[in-house]
């Protein structure tokens, strides 16, 4: 079993690799879990893990509320199952992921891994992340959630706040200096997604209404308003010449 949650290119990644042996319960409630390793790298090259069954989670380092140096110290420890108290948060998170795939709130799986890894780092080093480090990581988590899920109409300030485990007010205080209004940030991300789809030849036969639904807008009117506000272009103007006028609302 190989499960990958790998972010985009060009950023330092933290990889959590959990190997599963044949039979036995190992040192954890996750049956067969025999090895947990953490690696920090500037590339996303394929790595071989033995035995062949593994759970591999890739996260952007910026999402993890822990100092880079402290995170690297933990990555040098080797198999974390040798430190049962240290590894227990990762084991519990793995168990939850494998047994409760529909866990709520939505959109927060990577965030919960990042927060769990922060607990591991704090336990291993005795250094808890500062408020500034936590705020920086939460901003990266917001960026990641919006980038991944802006096309989902369920994505709202409330579901983002629930995924981060903060209040709506705290989310607004976090977002305001960096994103402006969080609702506007989501709307702009949806407009960018819609603009890409409208300009893409492969979506030439999709109507404006279909693209609006696929990019998280409740109607073509709302998509059009967002596009005009973000880049001054209507949906029709963004279509390739061959598709002009073919999409209807």
Model pLDDT, residue 25: 46
- Answer whether residue 141 is part of any domain: no
pTM higher than 0.95: no
Q: Are 245 and 238 in contact (CB under 8 A)?
A: no
Model pLDDT, residue 12: 80
Residue 88 sits in the same domain as residue 176: no
Q: Please write the tens of the pLDDT for every residue from 112-161.
A: 999 999 999 999 999 999 999 999 999 999 999 999 999 999 999 999 99
Residue in this structure with the two tokens 């947990």, named with its chain if needed: 36
Q: Domain span at residue 71?
A: 2-129
Reduce the DSSP state of residue 248 to 3 states and report it: coil
Residue 46 has pLDDT above 70, yes or no: no
Residue 89 has pLDDT above 50, yes or no: yes
Residue 53 sits in the same domain as residue 120: yes
Residue 3 has pLDDT above 80, yes or no: no
- Of 4, 40, 2, 41, nearest to 19 by C-alpha is 2
CA gap 149, 159 in Å, rounded: 11
Q: Please write the tens of the pLDDT for every residue from 194-213.
A: 999 999 999 989 999 999 99
Residue 24 has pLDDT above 60, yes or no: no
Residue 156 sits in the same domain as residue 50: no
């Amino acid at each position: 079993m190989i499960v990958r949650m790998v972010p985009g290119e060009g950023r330092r990644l933290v990889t959590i690799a959990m190997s599963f042996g044949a039979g036995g319960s190992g040192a954890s409630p996750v049956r067969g879990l025999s090895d947990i390793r953490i690696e920090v790298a500037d590339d996303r090259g394929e790595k071989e893990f033995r035995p062949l069954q593994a759970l591999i989670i890739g996260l952007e380092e910026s999402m993890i509320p822990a100092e880079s140096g402290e995170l690297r110290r933990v990555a040098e420890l080797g198999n974390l199952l040798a430190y049962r108290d240290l590894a227990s948060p990762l084991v519990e998170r793995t168990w939850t992921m494998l047994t409760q795939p529909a866990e709520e709130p939505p959109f927060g799986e990577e965030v919960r891994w990042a927060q769990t890894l922060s607990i591991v780092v704090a336990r291993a080093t005795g250094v808890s992340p500062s408020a500034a480090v936590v705020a920086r990581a939460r901003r990266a988590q917001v960026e990641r959630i919006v980038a991944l899920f802006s096309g989902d109409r369920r994505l709202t300030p409330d579901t983002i706040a629930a995924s981060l485990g903060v209040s709506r007010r705290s989310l607004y205080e976090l977002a305001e200096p960096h994103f402006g209004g969080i609702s506007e940030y989501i709307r702009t991300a949806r407009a960018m997604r819609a603009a890409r789809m409208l300009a893409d030849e492969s979506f030439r036969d999709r109507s404006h209404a279909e693209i609006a639904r696929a990019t998280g807008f409740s109607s073509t009117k709302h998509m059009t308003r967002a596009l005009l506000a973000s880049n001054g272009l209507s949906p029709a103007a963004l279509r390739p010449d061959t598709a002009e006028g073919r999409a209807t609302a």
